[in-house]
Amino acid sequence: MFGRPKWEALREEIVRWPMGARDWQRIFLGNATDVELDSAGRVLISPELCRAGRLEKEKPAMLLGMGSHFEIWEAGAHEQQEAATLSKGVPPILADFTF
């Protein structure tokens, strides 16, 4: 999920992709949708995007802040992804990173 300014920049980049990426353009641009917060501060995610993200009404979802955007994860899938990442250890590219 991207704010409007970030999405506009990404959209312009995607539009410039070569013809060999047309199918990916269709996936990224064709499935993009504007959303609004409701009076309770909730975002309604379209059924198509829920299916793509494997989000189900009965399963909790997580909203992760990623700096320039948010990622929406089914909680169990995020837990599995995080465990797999941690099991690999810190990659060399992050060896010098500190807080």
Written as tens digits, the pLDDT of the chain (99 aa) is: 898 999 999 999 999 999 999 999 998 898 888 888 889 988 888 888 888 888 988 889 999 999 888 999 999 999 999 999 999 998 999 988 888
- Report the phi/psi class of residue 89: left, alpha or beta, with left for phi > 0 and alpha for psi in -120 to 50: left
Q: According to the model, what pLDDT value does residue 22 have?
A: 95
- Report the phi/psi class of residue 60: left, alpha or beta, with left for phi > 0 and alpha for psi in -120 to 50: beta
Q: According to the model, what pLDDT value does residue 85 have?
A: 94
The C-alpha atoms of residue 27 and residue 77 are separated, in whole angstroms, by 22
Q: Where are the alpha helices (DSSP H) in 1-99?
A: 4-15, 22-30, 47-52, 75-87
Can you state the angle between helices 4-15 and 22-30, rounded to 10 degrees?
160
Facing residues of 70 across strands?
Answer: 65
